[in-house]
Structure 1
Amino acid sequence: MNNNEHQHNENLPAGMNRRGFIRTAGVGAGAVAAGGVVEAAGVAAKAREPGRSARTRGVDYDVIVLGGGFAGVTAARDSSKNGYKTLVLEARDRLGGRTFTSEFAGHQVELGGTWIHWTQPFVWSEVQRYQLEVTETPELAIAPDGNAIMALVDGRCETLGAEQLGQVFAAFGKYFGDAGVLWERPYDVAYHWKNIVANDKLSARDAMQKMSLTPVQRVVLEAYLAGLSHCPSEQASHIEVNRWWALPGGSMQALHDSCGRYRFKHGTVSLINRMVEDGKPEVRLSTPVQRVEDRGSHVVVTTANGQRLTAAAVIVGLPMNVVQEVEFSPPLDPRVAEAGRERHAGTGIKLLIKIKGHLPKSEITALAPVTHPLPLVATYAVAADHTILVMFGPDPKRIDYADKAAVQAALRDFFPQAVVEEVHFHPWTTDPYSMGTWCNYRAGWFEKYLAHFQKDRGRVFFGQGDHGEGWRGFIDGAIGAGAGAADRVKARLG
C-alpha cells in the first residue's frame, strides 16, 4: 500500500478499504436458493438406484421431493442416505432453480445465486464435506491495477474520494444502527419479536427517508438497498435488509466477505453434482407436479402428464412464489397461498455485460439513482481483451436488457467510451418455476405471514429455502431447510 492509499484508508471505518467496499457494493445476488446442473440428464441417470425398494409397504417411494434446487437436493440426499427410497421431481430440464452455472464469453458464470462464506454454516459444512475449491470475485486474468467507486449524481459521474467515502460509510452506519436491536439473535426472530412487530410496516425506503442525506449518500445508500433486496426500496422490508447486515456480524466488511466475495471455483453446479452423486436419489427432470393429495396413510403425487406416484412422505422444496400453483389436498394454508400470490420482494434482474477492453481500473463499482437502468454495476471478471461486469437492478422492465445498444447507452453514463459486445441473464421473474429472484419479505410480512410459513401438514413436509431462520433466501438457508425437512421425515417414518 502506498502512502497515498494509506492516507485515504484512514478516513474509512476500521477493517474497510476501497477494495472491500467495491466488492461489498456488488453483494446483491449473494443469496438465491438453488443450484444449476450443466449435465443434468447425465447426473439424473447416474443417480438412479433401480434395485432399492421402498421401506414403507404399499407405496412407490418412501419420500418424494418436489423441486431440485439446493433445498430439494439436500432433502433428497439426506433422505436417501437415511435409507429411504427417494425421488426428486424437478420441473426444469436441469437440477437447480435459482442458481444456474452457465458459460458466457469464455467464463464460467452464475446467473443466479453465487457467493458463499464460512459465516454461512450449512453451505460451508458442505464445502468442507466435499473439499470443494473456492475462489474470489472478481476473477482476474491480468494483474489488478487499482480500484474505484463511482457515483452518478445529478447527471454527472464522479469517482468518490476519501472524504466522500467517509460520509457514505457514516450513512450506512446510521441506517443499519437498528440491526443489533432487531436481530440480536439472527437465528431467533422471536427473541426481539416486539421490536420486529413495531418496525414491521417500515419499508427500506421509509427508513432512509427519515435520514438527512447528501446527494451522494442518498444515491449510494439507495442503490445498495435495492441491490440487497433486488426490488424498489419502497417494496422491501426495513427489517429484512437489517437481517442481511446482522447475520455476518454487523459490519460492512463482514457483509462484503459473506455475500459478495467468495464463490465455488467450479460453480454452484459442483456442489449440486456432489450431493446427487453422494445420495443417489432417483431424479426425474422436466416433470412438473400438478397435485399432492395426503390420504392419511400415504401421499399421492400427480405429475402434469397425469402420472400418479405414491409415497409415505412428500417434502416440498418449491419457491414460495410458485407453490400455490400446485393443487394440495387438504389445501395449503390460505395465508401461504396468499403470500405466494402477492409474491416476495425479489423481482429484479442480474445482468452480465461483456465490454471491449478494460475500464480505467480493474475493480470498479458504479452506482446510480435507482431510476437508472444500471443502478449498481461491479467488476465480475477481467481478461486480456475484455471485461465482464455484473449489474443488479430492481426492475427487469426498466429497459430491454437483451438489447446491447440500450445497455451500452446506459453504461456510457459511467464510461463514455464503453463498447458492449455481449449481454447475458436469466429472466427469473417470468420463469414459471421461480417467478422471482431471491426471497426478501415485504414490509408487513413478519406479523402477517411468518407464523404460517414452513409448517408441516400431515405427511407433507415443507423445506423451502425462502423461509426459516438465519440465511434464508440464500444457498445456505436452502441447504438448512432441506436438511431440516429430511430430519423431520426421518422422525415421522422411523
Structure 2
Amino acid sequence: MTEREVNTQCGVSRRRFLRDAGVVSAAGAAVAVGAAHIDGVQAQENNQGCKSAGCDYDVVVIGGGFAGVTAARDSSKHGYKTLLLEARNRLGGRTFSSEFAGHKIELGGTWIHWTQPFVWGEVERYGLQLKETPEHHVPGKDTLSVIHEGKRIELAGKDLMSAVEGIYAYFAEARKLWERPYDAKYTWNQLSAVDAMSATDRYAQLSLTPLQRTVVDAYIAGISHTTSDKASYADVLRWWSLPGWELSQFSDSLGRYTFKNGTISLINAMIADGQPEVRLSTPVAKVEDKGDRVLITTQQGDTIVAGAVIVAVPMNVLPRIAFSPALDPALVAAAKETHTGSGMKVFVRTKGKLPVEGKYTGIADSHQPLSLVTTYAKADDHTLFACFGSDPDKLDVQDRDAVQQVFESFFPGIEVTECYSYEWTLDPYSRGTYCSYRPNWLGKYYDHFQQDRGRVIFGQGDHGEGWRGFIDGAISAGGKAAKRTQTLLG
C-alpha cells in the first residue's frame, strides 16, 4: 500500500495518519515518473515535442484523480506534451483501492452503473471487468433494521411498504425540478424557487409518519454525506433524477457494480493509453497566467512553463494554490464554505459468518453515528460490513468499543473485531468526501463554477452537469476541460 489507512486494531493518531498518507512531508519527495511503475502500469517518458513556444509542456494538469487523469490522457492523445502533477504519492484522488480482511475494497468512490455514460464508456473502451457488490439483495431473505426513536425496528410487511411510499413522496417533485438532469438551465426557474431549501425543509411540506421520515433521512445522509439540515433539497433530488426517478434503479446505480480489479484499474488503463508524464508527491504552490504562457510553481520550488494549465483538484482545496490573476472570489467563498461531503466510510469486520443467506442492512437518520450499515462480504469465519456516517466526530472508528455499541443497536449479539477507514476530511488534498451542494449554492455559485480564465482551464469533478461528485462526473469534467484546452492551443 502507498498510504496508511485507519485501522482500529492498533489505533492511529491523526498526525500519524497524515504523515503515513504522504501528505505532511511530501515537499522534497517529488517523483518524476519516466520509466517508473505507477501502480503496476509502465508509464513511459513523454517524448512528444512541445508545440507551445518557450514552454516546457503544452499542458500541465494539476490533480491526479479521475478528472485530472482523464484530462491528461486526452491532452496527450490530442498531440500535446502533457505533464500530470499529483500532490499525493498515488493516483486516484478520492478513490482508493485497498484490501482488508482478505477482501478487495474501495475506501473512497466505488460504484458505477450503465446509467453513468462517461465511466461506462471507459469500461467498454478498455474492456475492464466488473463485479457486483459481493453480497447483494436476496428477495425474502434480507434483514432490514431501522433505528427509530432509540429503538430497533425490523422493516417488513406494511412497515416496509410504508417506508417505500415515504421515499416516493419525498422525491415526488424530482421530475419537475430535474426534467433534464444534465441541463439545470432547462428548469432553472423551478430550481431557483427551491434553491434556499435544505433537505430538512422539505419535511414541512409533507405528511410523513415519523418512521417514514427516519427512513428518508437515511437516504439523504447517503446522498449528501452530511446531516439533512445542511444538504440542498434541489441537489438531493438531482441524485434521484439521474437514474430515472425510480427506487430500484436508484439503488443499483449507487451500489451494485464496481471494478473487479479496483478503481485503480481504470486509472492505470488511462495512463497506459495516453502516456502523459506523471509526477507524484508534487503539490503545486502557485499558478501564474502571463498571457502567452503559464508558470506553475511547485512546493519544492520548481517552476514549470506551460501553454495551458488544467486545474482538476477538489473544490475544497482550491485556496491552497495561489493564483495570479486571483481566482474568482466566488470560487474562494465556496471553497471556504466547503461542499457537504464531510462524512465517513468505514469497513467493519465482525466475528463469524451471518446465519442467514441474505444480507443485513441497518439504517438510521442522518444525525446518528452511522446512517447505513450493510453486508459487503461473507467468509467462513467473519462478515464484512460497509458503513456510512454523516459526521466523523460522532463516532471514533479507532474505538472498537464505540463501534461495537453502534452495531449492537442494529444487530444485537454481533461482535465487532476490526475496523478500516480513510479520513478524507483530514487529507489536506481532499478536505472532504464526494461533493454535493448546500442550500442557495445554485444561485450563488453555479454560474461561477468551471469558468475558464485565460490559460487556466477548470476541470473539477465536483462541478458540471449530470453525475458531478461521482467518478462519472469527474471523467466528464476532465474530458471537457481537455477539449477546451485543445480549442485554446489549436
Q: Indicate the SS of the match to 1:413.
A: helix
Q: Distance in 2 between matches of 1:235 and 1:144?
A: 34
Look up the match of 1:198.
193
Look up the match of 2:3.
none
1:183 aligned onto 2:178: yes
Look up the match of 2:67.
71
Look up the match of 1:339.
334
Look up the match of 2:253.
258
Look up the match of 1:440.
436
Look up the match of 2:5.
none
Deviation of 1:80 after TM superposition, in Å, equals 0.5
Look up the match of 1:377.
373
Look up the match of 2:469.
473
Deviation of 1:52 after TM superposition, in Å, equals 2.5
Matched ranges for 1:81-480 at <5 A: 81-139=77-135, 146-361=141-356, 362-480=358-476
**Which deviates the most, 326-335 or 406-415?**
406-415
Q: Indicate the SS of the match to 1:234.
A: helix
**Which deviates the most, 83-92 or 368-377?**
368-377
> For 1:58-112, what per-residue CA distance to the aligned partner results, in whole angstroms no more than 9, with x for missing partners?
1000000000000000000000011111000000000011110011111110001
Cα pair distance change 1:144/1:273, threshold 3 Å: farther
**Which deviates the most, 48-57 or 321-330?**
48-57
- Report how many aligned residue pairs link the two structures: 453
Q: Distance in 1 between matches of 2:112 and 2:197?
A: 29
> For 1:236-270, what per-residue CA distance to the aligned partner results, in whole angstroms no more than 9, with x for missing partners?
00001100010111100111111111111111011
Q: Distance in 1 between matches of 2:292 and 2:268?
A: 33
Deviation of 1:349 after TM superposition, in Å, equals 0.5
Q: Distance in 1 between matches of 2:406 and 2:135?
A: 24
Tell me if structure 1 keeps the 8 A contact 2:197–2:232.
yes
Cα pair distance change 1:50/1:483, threshold 3 Å: closer
Q: Distance in 2 between matches of 1:370 and 1:438?
A: 16
Deviation of 1:158 after TM superposition, in Å, equals 2.3
> For 1:385-417, what per-residue CA distance to the aligned partner results, in whole angstroms no more than 9, with x for missing partners?
111111111101102111111101111011221
Note the residue ranges of structure 2 that are not aligned, 5 or more in a row: 1-32
Q: Which amino acid aligns with 1:81?
A: K
Look up the match of 1:16.
none
Identical-residue share of aligned pairs (%)? 54
Deviation of 1:48 after TM superposition, in Å, equals 3.5
Q: Distance in 2 between matches of 1:173 and 1:121?
A: 25
Q: Distance in 2 between matches of 1:184 and 1:271?
A: 31
Tell me if structure 2 keeps the 8 A contact 1:144–1:363.
no
Alignment match of 1:59 (pick from 48, 55, 62): 55
Q: Distance in 2 between matches of 1:90 and 1:448?
A: 30
Q: Indicate the SS of the match to 1:274.
A: helix
Tell me if structure 1 keeps the 8 A contact 2:286–2:322.
yes
Tell me if structure 2 keeps the 8 A contact 1:229–1:440.
yes
> For 1:85-141, what per-residue CA distance to the aligned partner results, in whole angstroms no more than 9, with x for missing partners?
10000000000111100111111100010010111010000000001111111348x
Q: Distance in 1 between matches of 2:338 and 2:305?
A: 30
> For 1:269-293, what per-residue CA distance to the aligned partner results, in whole angstroms no more than 9, with x for missing partners?
1100000011010000000000000
Q: Distance in 1 between matches of 2:206 and 2:480?
A: 40
Q: Indicate the SS of the match to 1:365.
A: strand
Deviation of 1:379 after TM superposition, in Å, equals 1.1
Q: Distance in 2 between matches of 1:372 and 1:333?
A: 37
Deviation of 1:145 after TM superposition, in Å, equals 9.2
Q: Indicate the SS of the match to 2:38.
A: helix
Tell me if structure 2 keeps the 8 A contact 1:48–1:283.
no
Q: Which amino acid aligns with 2:192?
A: V
Look up the match of 2:43.
47
Tell me if structure 2 keeps the 8 A contact 1:374–1:411.
no
Tell me if structure 2 keeps the 8 A contact 1:369–1:375.
yes
Tell me if structure 2 keeps the 8 A contact 1:138–1:363.
no
Q: Distance in 1 between matches of 2:291 and 2:304?
A: 15
Q: Distance in 2 between matches of 1:122 and 1:369?
A: 32
Note the residue ranges of structure 1 that are not aligned, 5 or more in a row: 1-39
Tell me if structure 2 keeps the 8 A contact 1:63–1:312.
yes
Cα pair distance change 1:484/1:240, threshold 3 Å: same
Deviation of 1:370 after TM superposition, in Å, equals 3.0
Q: Which amino acid aligns with 1:319?
A: P
Deviation of 1:383 after TM superposition, in Å, equals 1.5
> For 1:324-350, what per-residue CA distance to the aligned partner results, in whole angstroms no more than 9, with x for missing partners?
210000111000011001100111001
Q: Distance in 1 between matches of 2:46 and 2:76?
A: 13
Cα pair distance change 1:223/1:82, threshold 3 Å: same
**Which deviates the most, 427-436 or 206-215?**
206-215
Q: Distance in 2 between matches of 1:50 and 1:152?
A: 55
**Which deviates the most, 214-223 or 127-136?**
214-223
Deviation of 1:148 after TM superposition, in Å, equals 1.7
Tell me if structure 2 keeps the 8 A contact 1:289–1:301.
yes
Deviation of 1:421 after TM superposition, in Å, equals 1.3
Q: Distance in 2 between matches of 1:294 and 1:397?
A: 40
Q: Indicate the SS of the match to 1:354.
A: strand
> For 1:129-171, what per-residue CA distance to the aligned partner results, in whole angstroms no more than 9, with x for missing partners?
001111111348xx99921211122332121112111111111
Q: Distance in 1 between matches of 2:449 and 2:367?
A: 33
In the superposition, the TM-score normalised over structure 1's length comes to: 0.89
Alignment match of 2:482 (pick from 458, 480, 486): 486
Q: Indicate the SS of the match to 2:410.
A: coil
